[in-house]
A and B are shown apart, each in its own frame.
Chain A
Amino acid sequence: METSLFKIGDKELQSRLFLGTGKFGSNIQMEEAILASGSELVTVALKRVDLETDTDAILSHLKHPGINLLPNTSGARNAKEAVFAAQLAREALETNWLKLEIHPDPRYLLPDPIETLKATEELAKLGFIVLPYIHADPVLCKRLEDVGTAAVMPLGSPIGSNKGLKTIDFLEIIIEQSKVPVIIDAGIGAPSDAAKAMEMGADAVLVNTAIAVAGNPKLMAEAFKEAVIAGRKAYEARLGQQYKHAIASSPLTAFLYE
Chain B
Amino acid sequence: MTTFKSVFEQFDWETIKTKIYSTSASDVERSLAKIKRNLDDFLVLISPAAQPYLEQMAQLSHELTKKRFGKTIQMYAPLYLSNECQNICTYCGFSLDNKIKRKTLTDPEIKLEVEALKKAGFDHVLLVTGEANYTVNINYFLNAIEQIKKDFSIISVEVQPLSTEEYTQLHQAGVYSVLVYQETYHKEVYKQYHTKGKKSNFDFRLETPDRVGSAGIHKIGLGVLLGLEDWRTDSFFNALHLDYLQKTYWQTKYTVSFPRLRPAEGVIKPNFIMDDKDLTQLICAYRLWNEDVEISLSTRENEKFRNHIIPIGITSMSAGSKTNPGGYVVDPQSLEQFEISDERSSFEIASIISKSGYEPVWKDWDRTYF
Q: Determine which of A24, A75, A161 lies in contact with B359 in the assembled complex, contact meaning CB atoms within 8 Å.
A: A24
B363 within 8 A of A: yes
Take A27-B359, A47-B365 as given contacts and tell me if A212 and B67 are in contact as well, using a CB distance cutoff of 8 Å: no
Roughly how many angstroms separate A85 CA and B68 CA in the complex, as a whole number? 24
Residue of B nearest to A25 (CB): B71
Interface bits A72-105 vs B (CB < 8 Å: 1, else 0):
0001110001001100100000000000000011
Chain B residues near A7: list those with CB within 8 A: none
Roughly how many angstroms separate A51 CA and B246 CA in the complex, as a whole number? 32
B98 within 8 A of A: no
- Say whether A213 contacts B67, CB under 8 Å: yes
- Say whether A104 contacts B251, CB under 8 Å: yes
Roughly how many angstroms separate A24 CA and B361 CA in the complex, as a whole number? 11
Residue of B nearest to A88 (CB): B368
A148 within 8 A of B: no
Take A81-B369, A84-B368, A88-B368 as given contacts and tell me if A105 and B251 are in contact as well, using a CB distance cutoff of 8 Å: yes
Chain B residues near A162: list those with CB within 8 A: 67
Take A23-B71, A85-B369 as given contacts and tell me if A47 and B364 are in contact as well, using a CB distance cutoff of 8 Å: yes
Residue of B nearest to A108 (CB): B292
Interface bits A183-199 vs B (CB < 8 Å: 1, else 0):
00000000000000000
A32 within 8 A of B: no
Chain B residues near A161: list those with CB within 8 A: 67
B332 within 8 A of A: no
B334 within 8 A of A: no
Chain A residues near B365: list those with CB within 8 A: 47, 75
- Say whether A85 contacts B368, CB under 8 Å: yes
Residue of B nearest to A20 (CB): B70
Q: Determine which of B69, B123, B292, B357 lies in contact with A23 in the assembled complex, contact meaning CB atoms within 8 Å.
A: B69
Residue of A nearest to B251 (CB): A104
Roughly how many angstroms separate A6 CA and B69 CA in the complex, as a whole number? 32
Chain B residues near A138: list those with CB within 8 A: none
- Say whether A212 contacts B70, CB under 8 Å: yes
A39 within 8 A of B: no
- A175 CB to closest chain B CB (Å) equals 27
- Say whether B366 contacts A47, CB under 8 Å: yes
B66 within 8 A of A: yes
- Say whether A77 contacts B251, CB under 8 Å: yes
Take A25-B359, A27-B359 as given contacts and tell me if A75 and B251 are in contact as well, using a CB distance cutoff of 8 Å: no
Beyond the given A47-B369, A161-B67, could you list 5 further A-B residue pairs with CB under 8 A, ordered by the A residue number?
Answer: A24-B359, A47-B366, A49-B363, A106-B252, A162-B67
Chain A to chain B contacts (Cβ below 8 Å), 22 pairs: A25-B72, A25-B359, A26-B358, A46-B366, A47-B363, A47-B366, A47-B368, A48-B363, A49-B363, A50-B123, A85-B368, A85-B369, A88-B368, A104-B251, A106-B253, A106-B292, A107-B250, A107-B292, A160-B68, A161-B67, A209-B70, A213-B71
